[in-house]
Amino acid sequence: MFIEPNNSGERRGSIEVICGSMFSGKTEELIRRLKRVKIANQKVEIFKPTIDVRYDEVKIVSHDATAIHSTPVKESKIILELAKDVEVVGIDEAQFFDAAIADVCDQLAFQGIRVIVAGLDMDYLGNPFGAMPALLAKADYVTKLHAICQQCGSMANYSYRKVAEGGQVLLGATDNYEPRCRKCYQDK
């Protein structure tokens, strides 16, 4: 999915969305793609929302401790200011950004930038999460990953919250959440 020049030599931008439930490997896949971009010597900028401080304040870190340096930003429009003269932009935890993140990604892609975004497609209630539906609609490529249900071992696409506290956003890992298949999620 590398950007290929068209006949005029201009780069063609694109939006790639990696989505799924918690523990499905979204961040791991994002990091894998971004490391390949670095191997290809492409200029890249990587961002995450300032709210995500679970494993590190600056790095994007997967649940299996794979990490890559990023720039934490409070608002998605800041990405436009910081992504100057790059070929690729990586964004993790897109569901935590404001609604403008989809338009920001669109603007970057129209500038010829390859945008790779990872995020939860559904919240713990099984509802679309944040700006992810808009990102999925604008995406050129979508990769939906699945976890393994902690109850029965089937393919899981729901993030089951094990604690009753908090609103839609409750940062956590296995302490607060577990992946579940549709049946086990419904059987709560």
10 Å Cβ neighbour count for 25? 20
- Measure the CA–CA gap between 51 and 47, rounded to whole angstroms: 12
List of residues 6+ apart from 182 with CB closer than 8 A: 157, 158
Active-site residue, 16 included: no
Q: Which of 28, 45, 87, 93 is catalytic?
A: 93
Q: Cα angle vertex 90, ends 87, 94, to 5°? A: 140
List of residues 6+ apart from 157 with CB closer than 8 A: 20, 21, 24, 122, 144, 146, 147, 179, 181, 182
- DSSP classification of residue 122: B
Closest CA to 52 of 74, 68, 35, 32: 74
Tokens of 134: 């808009």
The residues assigned a catalytic role are: 93
